[in-house]
Amino acid sequence: MKKKPLIIAHRGACGYLPEHTLPAKAVAHTMGADFIEQDVVLTKDDRVIVVHDRFLETVSDVQRRYPKRKRIDGRYYAIDFTLKEIKKLRLHERIDRKTGKPVYPGRFPIEAITPFEISTLEEEIEMIQGLNRSTGREAGIYVELKGPAFHRREGKRFEEIVLDILQQYGYTARDANCYLQCFEPESLNYMRTSLKCDLKMVQLIGDNSWDDTPGVDYHTMLTPEGLDAVARYADAIGPWTFPVVADLGLGNEPRVTDLVDSAHRRNLDVHVYTFRADSLPSYVQSFNELLDLFFRKVGVDGIFTDFPDIVHDYLRESGLLPQTIIDVGE
């Protein structure tokens, strides 16, 4: 019997609330997400915080609060601030660094005075585990280590610090309700071999043109030989949509590649990012059409989405969710 496709709440239910805020994670839990994502970086005092980038200016008021703390490249690095300083920041919807305008204008109002703040990994885990207990519904955590090579250059033992926290909260074994993901294969290999980490691992796959991970060749990673290498340390791959379904432009039929089949032949699951109801590729007319393509035609094992409720409803209405029998008593 085919496994239920996983709903991974991308930065929480960030289609509705600012990304990586505790309210966005709580809402994702109530919407039926199987896993809730945490992007993590380190502070100056070695605390693990949940924020998408090494930089703070596109999601917080750091420029207003600490105007003189940017580096020579004009960026405000989380690693240059203590947790106490970080906690004084207020989060908002992601803005475009060049224009200063929201990336997704129809989402939560950027001018809202709601006091969203950056959370630690411990705070987020305790909230998710608390909701698991109070609701009786289990959601897992899906942790991405952001920029391990950068942290090493800054003199930080990033992987060790993150794994220590996960161990404190019971995430150690392969069957734990936890995934570790990273774009850098060196970091995943280091955790698997040197640190003897047995957690499920996901090799994220970007594009060489993004230039986010110098020295990593994603094009080679997508070849049969590249996937063979990934399968030696990872349990799944996390590609963006294009290597799975190539968008050939408006008016052209998309091309479904053999990546999913190739990964499955190597016992690698495929979790694809990122599915947004308010940002559709040119080859579909609706979000449900997009979900149909990836779940039914392509056969992916899970997706990252900003809208976990819509995906949950789609899976239920499509018969892709297991039937739950509820005993209501006499």
CATH number of 184's domain: 3.20.20.190
Summarize pLDDT for 227-242 with one digit per residue, the tens: 999 999 999 999 999 9
End-to-end CA distance of the chain: 33
**Amino acid type, 255:** R
Q: Quick check: is 312 catalytic?
A: no
List 232's β-bridge partners, or say none.
none
Over residues 74-81, the mean pLDDT reads 98
Q: What is the DSSP code (8-state) at residue 40? A: E
Q: How confident is the model at residue 323 (pLDDT cuts 50, 70, 90)?
A: low
Strands 35-42 and 140-145: parallel
Over residues 311-318, the mean pLDDT reads 96
Q: What is the DSSP code (8-state) at residue 52? A: S
Q: Is residue 19 part of a domain?
A: yes
**Amino acid type, 292:** D
Q: Quick check: is 219 catalytic?
A: no
- Per the residue annotation, which of 10, 20, 29, 151 is the catalytic one? 10
Q: How confident is the model at residue 1 (pLDDT cuts 50, 70, 90)?
A: very low
Query: Can you give the pLDDT at residue 327?
Result: 40
Strands 48-50 and 35-42: antiparallel
Over residues 239-259, the mean pLDDT reads 90
In 136-286, which residue ranges form alpha helices assigned H by DSSP? 148-153, 158-168, 185-189, 218-221, 224-231, 259-265
Domain residue limits at 263: 6-54+121-317
Q: Encoding tokens for residue 297?
A: 């035609």
Q: Whole-model pTM? A: 0.95
Query: Can you give the pLDDT at residue 252?
Result: 80
Query: Strands (DSSP E) along the chain, which ranges?
Result: 6-9, 35-42, 48-50, 140-145, 178-182, 200-205, 236-239, 245-246, 255-256, 269-275, 302-305
Over residues 142-170, the mean pLDDT reads 98
Q: Is residue 108 part of a domain?
A: no
| Residue 325: pLDDT over 50 | no
Summarize pLDDT for 88-117 with one digit per residue, the tens: 999 999 999 999 999 999 999 999 999 999
Query: Can you give the pLDDT at residue 154?
Result: 97
- Per the residue annotation, which of 29, 52, 151, 271 is the catalytic one? 52
Query: Can you give the pLDDT at residue 97?
Result: 93
Q: Is residue 93 part of a domain?
A: no
Summarize pLDDT for 180-215 with one digit per residue, the tens: 999 999 999 999 999 999 999 999 999 999 988 888
Domains contained in the chain, number: 1
| 28-32, 92-96, 252-256, 276-280: least confident range | 252-256
Over residues 67-78, the mean pLDDT reads 97
Query: Can you give the pLDDT at residue 326?
Result: 39
Query: Can you give the pLDDT at residue 81?
Result: 98
| Residue 141: pLDDT over 70 | yes
pLDDT-above-90 percentage for the chain: 92
Q: Is residue 288 part of a domain?
A: yes
| Residue 133: pLDDT over 50 | yes
Name every residue whose Cβ is closer than 8 Å to that of residue 281 and which is 6 or more positions away in sequence.
Answer: 241, 245, 247, 254, 290
Q: Is residue 90 part of a domain?
A: no
Name every residue whose Cβ is closer than 8 Å to that of residue 135 and which is 6 or more positions away in sequence.
Answer: 29, 30
Query: Can you give the pLDDT at residue 321?
Result: 83
| Residue 324: pLDDT over 60 | no
Q: How confident is the model at residue 45 (pLDDT cuts 50, 70, 90)?
A: very high
In terms of pLDDT, which residue wins out, 227 or 328?
A: 227
What is the Cβ-side half-sphere exposure of residue 60, based on CA atoms within 13 angstroms? 29
Q: Is residue 164 part of a domain?
A: yes
Query: Can you give the pLDDT at residue 38?
Result: 98
Q: Is residue 279 part of a domain?
A: yes
Q: Is residue 83 part of a domain?
A: no
In 113-191, which residue ranges form alpha helices assigned H by DSSP? 121-135, 148-153, 158-168, 185-189
